[in-house]
Amino acid sequence: MAGRLSDPEVMLAGVLEEDDEIRALLVDELHRQRSTLQLIASENFTSPAVLAATASVLTNKYSEGYPGRRYYGGNAVADEVEDLARQRARQLFGSEHANVQPHSGASANLAAYLALVEPGDTICAMRLDQGGHLTHGSPVSITGKLYRFVAYGVTPAAPDGSGERIDLDQVRDIARRERPKLIVAGTTAYSRTIEPEPFRAIADEVGAKFMFDCAHPAGLVAAGVHPSPVGVADVVTFTTHKTLRGPRGGALLTSAENARLVDGAVFPGLQGGPLDHVIAAKAVAFREAMQPSFKSYARRVVANAQALAGALTGEGFRLVAGGTDNHLLLVDLRDFDPELSGKVAQETLDRAGITCNRNQIPNDPRPPFVTSGLRLGTAAETTAGMGEADMAVVAGLLATALRRRDDDAALRAVRAEVRELREQFDPYPGAGRES
Ligand SMILES: *Cc1c(COP(=O)(O)O)cnc(C)c1O
């Protein structure tokens, strides 16, 4: 049994045979992931090894504290697991210190704020509607209630695609005027490279600290296809489940000097016991990301995003920032069809078996729940094995579905084609087939 736990089929069929209801739902979800296109930019398919670690007996353990300094007994194994995870994270990113306990990217960001600034302090970060994240000071997030955020955005759109880049002049002006204690770089819907050095220079000029939220490109950074903020930013936060392809979770990287501050912010500052099973899965993912195959994976993710961008442009879509340097693209739907909102596009594509999310574009005339954009990413389908030629097919299916969105038969036909394409690229071959 133990030897077969790496097989997702065992987790579904064996481990859950007692609970028909949840088992049936998990089989449904496996079927959904397998028969529809996964283009959500923040998602990926983990390896069976990451799945197995996440489903391990470490979920039973309580380990408040850090290796060698725990509050409960019985932590010899948990200590080794966390030490291995931290050591691998340090090696993968070339960092002096790693904290692998945050339950999520949001927790990691909150811990960074707790470590670096005081409640009420001013923080300069990217506006949500220009590509920032909720935890970068949205009024509905605890971050927006605890700190005073001042926001920067992107440059105006330009016909040649050279606009909609992070406006560093604006960052500098705001920093000089507002004297923030912390400047945050990092976004959730930005398709271009973010150079950390210019942010560092501005932070130094105004005496601010600098945090880089690397949630999205962490895997690309690990593979060397996006510049690394490690050693440039005071604290780097990231998620382990997006391009890094690990379990759902967060982590922080920092200098040896800031290690105690950051560790104290995570525990006891924010969290109780860590998720040891997830930490084991993070360790597995960090090791996977050190392999040469991961470097080539990351290069293919970017090549696929660029192929998808090119094909969508050919279908009449405008891309925010004129294209992509990373794993995601932001599509402005207005040129394709001024009547089509992001909400209707997302719902239409769901019916056609193409899973993605609506997203605000910079200066979006429509409200956040409606939007004029779609965000697409290639991290998951590249893991499943799709290449650049498949991206052209995907763009064609997506455009057809949106053009014929009022035609049920046409959408059913697209869905059938999607399924046929998708089934050539099974992320979990063999699992759950006979159920
Ligand atoms: C995804 C994301 C997060 C939050 O990650 P969760 O694990 O969902 O909490 C934080 N910052 C950015 C920029 C993100 O894209």
Band (pLDDT 50/70/90 cuts) for residue 8 is: low
Distance 413 CA to ligand 1 centre (A): 35
Give the Å distance between the CA of 43 and the centre of ligand 1.
11
The first and second tokens of residue 291, run together, are 């392999």
Residues with Cβ within 6 A of ligand 1? 42, 104-106, 109, 133, 135, 186-188, 213, 215-216, 239, 250
Atom of ligand 1 nearest to the CA of 109: 10
Q: How far apart are CA 382 and CA 364, in angstroms?
A: 30
- In order of their start, the domains of the chain are 54-289 (3.40.640.10), 296-424 (3.90.1150.10)
Which amino acid residue places its CA nearest to atom 4 of ligand 1?
A: 105
Q: What's this model's pTM, rounded to 2 decimal places?
A: 0.95
Triad 255, 111, 267: Cα angle to 5°: 90
pLDDT at residue number 273 = 97
Determine the atom of ligand 1 nearest the C-alpha atom of 188: 15
How far is the centre of ligand 1, averaged over its atoms, from the C-alpha of 243 (Å)? 12
Instruction: Point out the least confidently predicted range of 174-188, 342-356, 365-379, 421-435.
Output: 421-435
Q: 54: which residues sit within 8 A by CB, 6+ positions away?
A: 46, 247, 277, 278, 280, 281
Burial letters 69-107, b for 16+ CB under 10 A, else e: ebeeeebeebbebbebbbebbbebbebebbbbbbbbbbb
pLDDT over 90 (residue 434):
no
Place of tokens 């970017």: 302
- CB-CB contact of 216 with 242 (8 Å): yes
What pLDDT is attached to residue 120? 98
Cα 127 to ligand 1 centroid, rounded to whole Å: 14
pLDDT given at position 20: 84
252/260 Cα distance (integer angstroms): 12
pLDDT per residue as tens digits for the range 112-158: 999 999 999 999 999 988 889 999 999 999 999 999 999 999 999 99
- The reported pLDDT for the residue numbered 4 is 41
Closest CA to ligand 1's atom 6? 105
Residue 15 in this model has a pLDDT that exceeds 70: no
Q: Residue 2 pLDDT more than 70?
A: no
Mutual angle of helices 76-93 and 276-290, in 10-degree steps: 30
- pLDDT at residue 5 in the model: 39
Report, as residue numbers or ranges, the catalytic residues: 62, 64, 213, 239, 242, 248
Tokens 């891309």 label which residue? 319
Q: Which positions ≥6 away from 431 have C-beta within 8 Å?
A: 7, 8, 9, 12, 30
Q: From the CA of 410, how far away is ligand 1's center (Å)?
A: 36
Mean pLDDT, the chain, integer: 94
Hey, which of 126, 128, 184, 188 would you mutate to test ligand 1's pocket, going by the most ligand atoms within 8 Å of its Cβ?
A: 188
Report residue 202's pLDDT band, with 50, 70 and 90 as the boundaries. Answer: very high
Q: pLDDT category, 17, cuts 50, 70, 90? A: confident
Q: How confident is the model at residue 433 (pLDDT cuts 50, 70, 90)?
A: low
Nearest CA to ligand 1 atom 15: 188
